[in-house]
Amino acid sequence: MSDCIFCKIVSGTLATPLIYEDDRVVVFKDIKPKAEVHLLVVSKEHIQSLAHVLEDQTSLIAHMMLLLPKLAKAQGLLGFKTQINTGKAGGQEVPHLHIQLLGG
Ligand code: 5GP
Ligand code: ZN
């Protein structure tokens, strides 16, 4: 989506250093970190929120979830918190599927 900030990061239109990238996700630091380590795991595909994930996209969600402990370990974290804000009423500011990883 052309007006979506995370789509712009995925496409490279908005230059952001990436911590990790593969065919399905990008990972980068939150611009306003709420912890020593605060990463965003963002789907490359524009999906509005967790509430918009379809049954045939469950492998993407599994992929994103299983990436979290690997990213945490690479950041030197012994443990971490995970947050998925969903919908405006759930505090979601950016309407593009992402998981927040917080630690330290
Ligand atoms: P949420 O939608 O889960 O409530 O929050 C979105 C998160 O993305 C916020 O923690 C916010 O600081 C972060 N964020 C918003 N815009 C940008 C941006 O342009 N770059 C980066 N790196 N993070 C952003
Ligand atoms: Zn998007």
Position 14 pLDDT exceeds 90? yes
Rounded to whole angstroms, the Cα distance separating 83 from 23 reads 23
Whole-model pTM: value is: 0.97
Query: Per residue in 28-46, pLDDT tens?
Result: 999 999 999 999 999 999 9
Give residue 78 CA to ligand 2 midpoint distance, Å: 31
The whole-angstrom distance between residue 24's C-alpha and the CA centroid of its chain comes to 11
Quick one: which atom of ligand 1 is closest to the CA of 94?
A: 2
- Mean pLDDT taken over the chain: 97
43 lines ligand 1 (CB under 6 A): no
- 63 among known catalytic residues: no
Q: Are 47 and 96 spatial neighbours (Cβ–Cβ below 8 Å)?
A: yes
Position 69 pLDDT exceeds 80? yes
Higher pLDDT, 1 or 88: 88
pLDDT value at residue 1 = 73
